[in-house]
Copies of this chain bind each other. A is one copy, B any other.
Amino acid sequence: MNDFPAEDPRETYERFMRAALDEAAAALDHDDVPVGAVVVHNGRIIGRGHNERERLQDPTAHAEILALTAAAQFVKSWRLVECDVYVTLEPCVMCAGAMVHARVRRIIFGAYDPKAGASGSVYDITGDGRLNHQPAVEGGVMENVCSRILQDFFKRQRAMGKK
């Protein structure tokens, strides 16, 4: 039950958040808002995803949705118990709902999203006892790095007159 026998949890968090940041950077290749996610089980990444809404022209293709689907394919089960999701931005309502459905153990996110975040900011979907599962949540891990990649993206988009 314990992923962290010898390592400080904070070090584990940062190690996997860096993997999520690598995913976020991959979204930049196709001009998508840079958000990345990884699903970790027993210290091993079993699913990765980055935002592909623009590339796929799919409104559901957020980083977490793609990472959850990949992880579920890997374990051949929709139940991702004992799995932790690392994501560079606080999940939206859709993604928070998906992580509740998947019964993930823990969500570790980077930047807070005061406009649409659903793990405490606008909603607390992941902490709502009325729904059938409540993952543990740890927010603000490598917050500055995770925020900056988003801020830089939107700054460039504005400079190019895109947003």
Contacts and interface: CB of A to CB of B under 8 A. Distances in A.
Contacts of A53: 78
Interface stretch (A22-30, A57-65, A134-142): A57-65
A72 B58 contact: yes
B59 A68 contact: yes
A61 B102 CA distance: 11
For this chain, the copies found in one complex come to: 2
Contacts of A101: 59-60, 92, 94
Interface in A45-100: 53-54, 56-61, 65, 68-69, 72-73, 76-80, 92-98, 100
A125 interface: yes
A116 interface: yes
Interface of A: 53-54, 56-61, 65, 68-69, 72-73, 76-80, 92-98, 100-103, 115-116, 118, 122-123, 125, 130-132
A33 to B, nearest CB: 12
Contacts of A69: 58-60
Contact of A97 (B57, B72, B78, B97): B97
Contacts of A125: 93
B80 A57 contact: no
Contacts of A123: 123
Contact of A131 (B93, B103, B132): B93
Nearest to A52: B78
Contact of A57 (B78, B103, B118, B132): B78
